[in-house]
Structure 1
């Protein structure tokens, strides 16, 4: 793997690969005025924006919508029993005269609960386990449309040693609490949302297609472009990522923790969580303003669904033809058995009875293999490349009291320069666009011969092109453009 360095020019001093000094510059109360030059890793304007705003509460909330992990946030209509936030605690951060109860009734209170992280095995360094926190974070959508964190508990069990941190606390206390949330957030994202729910799930779809659907089967013809290179990248990933001493073995939860987190994630995966419109409704996040991932992804779901509906209805005019197709039934049976371990509670179908059922599932397959992967992969370096914003490992336990933290404590908690540099180089490579990139809806090899099917593809491409224009126009008016789901930036399949 190529070596990359971060060069920071501050006055007459040059630090090559030394992250400690850069941390001090941007964590300190006063930002230094000297010019900071980011080179070698190709840090663009967005990464610099992150490095400048990562401490801001409104940017913290923005990232839970448009950063990289937008799958956990949900509307909160009742506080969990293990999260004893009181009206008095958060009243200063709500609209004048309002209360937490009133804001929950209005649908303005949201929560990110990392309960799934509780009790995971972690790496041990110098005889000391690396901390991973099952945090709970409460957020408020204020009258200006900004999503702000208003309470953080660094654990699932409230006690005197697990205080609830508030924005009014000591600045370093509040920042440290947010850093522990960011750590849980990026671990959950990389293991469950990225690796398991796109890469490995797309592999299940790919294998089932290759094993059950002949090349002349219309569904094979429709899906095979969306399986391109998926097996190849996952084979490489297994060689580089899994196991002791490999990349995922070096993050804070280690190889055993990754395996356990994936086991928990799979047990919680449902058909509802994979079907975007159902997912958005189930979490109650339909009306949060500035949720660009949601807006663009729902439009893409609709476009893909319309394309799939036309294609499937053309080859399967009736429900009876779906239920009678033994190859099709073998395909979904294998996905249900091997991908979801035969878990009927997941809602994943084990058999297709109707055309509508087939359309919904094929839409899900294409969406996961293209749109969803683009959404989670595209912004990795932008948001995680600035290590304090998304640390893969912390070296100190979460604070158990208030008023005892400092900048020095934060620096001791963050990853050291070796871990930070290694993470940055990997994230940069994962975010690169390669020369053989094939955008969503582009099929270099003509696989269909029927005029009707070819026209459906043209209509699909036209819809995607129109959406691309609309997203480009919207982005031109945003301080921080959201371009990860511009159809021109979405690859047809999981390839990196």
Structure 2
């Protein structure tokens, strides 16, 4: 307690230091916050939430957000490190308990129906990679499906061109994989599928596959597979599509489009905003472990002996795949309302990723709009905030590679642009990551059932010469299977959990008190109430479904990427 006989004026800054003379020299303290009561009875909050080392002076600003602050305060919690051994985490958790609580076991329905075409089509909408399917009104020229090929699967009396006009045809196209060489296996390059799959929304409102071409260019050695082919031919063709889907899911939808791009947003946040800035306070809970998780992911996935080295693409092929995907990444593809509209999927039934995702986007948008609007009362204030402008310009330059065609704003000109971009950031690191991450164990167990692995012996070049034993051979030996490497990924995830002081923080929860304003706290309560209500609605809907869609239940969504 410091007493004074006269007011000291407005308290703007605290400096704290751990003195090694009074405690063990190798001890570190974790300071959450400091509350100061003034002689006038006002309580001032100074958030800290960082470790204090010996002889280190830490400057703390007050808990009220200040825009365009000239003092930049370093956050040592996210200080730069070069080796995973430098990460200092406190405590060890049971990785088994963590994994089992986060990833539900596959249902009996999955094991009983994994070969069914309608369940296969369902996974393009509600599996862990719902980002590639789109409505199509004509076929690409390299996918020569004819009327006679698919007539048995269409509504009676309805020609193919009419079904295109009615909006009942959908395309899944993995052209991004075309031309990437597979990894070397016994001195030869593994063949990689780059499939096209035509899907049909039938009169029963079930999405079913009706034609598959395993490679991009049609030829006698690259036939179009149909449901009327032998059961094993058709099954193997579907497995080829699944194999490609697993590769793009892990490398693009999951690793690149959530983990890696959000790291660039976080690094720009640390470089451009002081701790007192309201945008920093709003976003920092959503980047809680991103640098630590990604450092370990680079080692366990992209390292010399990482999991991606074992898949069909190999490490070099995986990096080339991500490079191609980065060239195609657009700002609108990260905003789910724009993405759903661009792919023509507004009305397809039983699309729970869309239904839940759009509602979550709206809830997040309302919250962000209220918080941002509290601090920025006009567009002019946005334009004049040099720290905010530095943040988005750095993201435009380093994440979107300075390309205007990708749609990312180079600068913010109005409040709504800030609101939309921050909504996208929070959605990506929480909701989008949950959509592509939370079902992985279930998906791997399912795909091991369907043998969605690397393809070495059977190349799907002719029909009908495939037998079930050929399908077994197509899964490769244990060391080459992408399914096995998928399980290896989760073994590596267990190593990661040993480093983390795991305390699950769900979307909408803000245990670190960074804002002092009562208005902001009230906005947080409204945010939590909206998420809780949606969670109840999703649980009620799922209770009536044979295959519940749980990935975007707010009670299952972390506020940041932690695994």
CA distance in 2, matches of 1:101, 1:466: 43
CA distance in 2, matches of 1:260, 1:416: 25
CA distance in 1, matches of 2:464, 2:484: 31
Equivalent pair of 2:143/2:196 in contact (CA under 8 Å): yes
Q: Does 1:426 align with 2:489?
A: yes
Map of 1:396 onto structure 2: 457
Map of 1:28 onto structure 2: none
CA distance in 1, matches of 2:121, 2:361: 25
- Tell me the alpha carbon deviations over residues 139-182 of structure 1, each in whole angstroms, 9 at most, x when there is no partner: 00111111000000111111111111000001111001001000
SS at match of 2:198: strand
SS at match of 1:478: coil
Equivalent pair of 2:451/2:475 in contact (CA under 8 Å): no
How far is the alpha carbon of 1:44 from its aligned partner?
A: 5.7
- Tell me the alpha carbon deviations over residues 220-244 of structure 1, each in whole angstroms, 9 at most, x when there is no partner: 0000000000001000111111143
> Aligned in 2, Cα 1:375/1:477: closer, same or farther, shift over 3 Å?
same
Residues 146-295 of structure 1 mapped to structure 2, 5 A cutoff: 146-295=206-355
How far is the alpha carbon of 1:390 from its aligned partner?
A: 6.7
The number of aligned residues is: 456
> Aligned in 2, Cα 1:478/1:443: closer, same or farther, shift over 3 Å?
same
SS at match of 1:361: helix
SS at match of 1:46: coil
Equivalent pair of 2:273/2:388 in contact (CA under 8 Å): yes
Gapped runs of 5+ residues in structure 1? 1-40
CA distance in 2, matches of 1:113, 1:348: 25
Equivalent pair of 1:151/1:166 in contact (CA under 8 Å): yes
What is the aligned counterpart of 2:557 among 484, 490, 494? 490
Residues 22-171 of structure 1 mapped to structure 2, 5 A cutoff: 46-171=106-231
What is the aligned counterpart of 1:443 among 510, 514, 530? 510
> Aligned in 2, Cα 1:226/1:478: closer, same or farther, shift over 3 Å?
same
How far is the alpha carbon of 1:56 from its aligned partner?
A: 1.1
CA distance in 2, matches of 1:352, 1:283: 27
CA distance in 2, matches of 1:332, 1:174: 48
CA distance in 2, matches of 1:463, 1:471: 12
TM-score normalised by structure 2 residue count = 0.78
Map of 1:21 onto structure 2: none
CA distance in 2, matches of 1:70, 1:249: 25
> Aligned in 2, Cα 1:320/1:390: closer, same or farther, shift over 3 Å?
farther
SS at match of 2:212: strand
CA distance in 2, matches of 1:84, 1:67: 27
- Tell me the alpha carbon deviations over residues 426-455 of structure 1, each in whole angstroms, 9 at most, x when there is no partner: 347759999511100001111111111111
SS at match of 1:385: helix
CA distance in 2, matches of 1:184, 1:271: 24
CA distance in 2, matches of 1:487, 1:304: 12
How far is the alpha carbon of 1:47 from its aligned partner?
A: 4.9
CA distance in 1, matches of 2:543, 2:117: 24
Map of 2:357 onto structure 1: 297
CA distance in 1, matches of 2:280, 2:163: 50
How far is the alpha carbon of 1:385 from its aligned partner?
A: 2.2
Equivalent pair of 2:453/2:475 in contact (CA under 8 Å): no
How far is the alpha carbon of 1:414 from its aligned partner?
A: 1.1
How far is the alpha carbon of 1:97 from its aligned partner?
A: 1.0
Equivalent pair of 1:475/1:482 in contact (CA under 8 Å): yes
- Tell me the alpha carbon deviations over residues 357-376 of structure 1, each in whole angstroms, 9 at most, x when there is no partner: 11110100000011000110
Q: Does 1:408 align with 2:475?
A: no
CA distance in 1, matches of 2:112, 2:383: 56
CA distance in 2, matches of 1:415, 1:277: 40
> Aligned in 2, Cα 1:480/1:382: closer, same or farther, shift over 3 Å?
same
- Tell me the alpha carbon deviations over residues 241-265 of structure 1, each in whole angstroms, 9 at most, x when there is no partner: 1143211111110111011101100
How far is the alpha carbon of 1:127 from its aligned partner?
A: 1.6
Equivalent pair of 2:307/2:486 in contact (CA under 8 Å): no
Map of 1:323 onto structure 2: 383
- Tell me the alpha carbon deviations over residues 16-69 of structure 1, each in whole angstroms, 9 at most, x when there is no partner: xxxxxxxxxxxxxxxxxxxxxxxxx97965254333322111111011111111
Query: In proportion to residue count, which structure has more helix?
Result: 1
- Tell me the alpha carbon deviations over residues 444-485 of structure 1, each in whole angstroms, 9 at most, x when there is no partner: 111111111111100000000000000000010011111110
CA distance in 2, matches of 1:427, 1:294: 27
CA distance in 2, matches of 1:390, 1:318: 56
> Aligned in 2, Cα 1:429/1:146: closer, same or farther, shift over 3 Å?
farther
Which deviates the most, 283-292 or 410-419?
Answer: 410-419
Equivalent pair of 1:380/1:427 in contact (CA under 8 Å): no
CA distance in 2, matches of 1:199, 1:208: 15
Q: Does 1:335 align with 2:395?
A: yes
Equivalent pair of 1:385/1:423 in contact (CA under 8 Å): no
- Tell me the alpha carbon deviations over residues 340-389 of structure 1, each in whole angstroms, 9 at most, x when there is no partner: 11111100111000101111101000000110001100000111223244
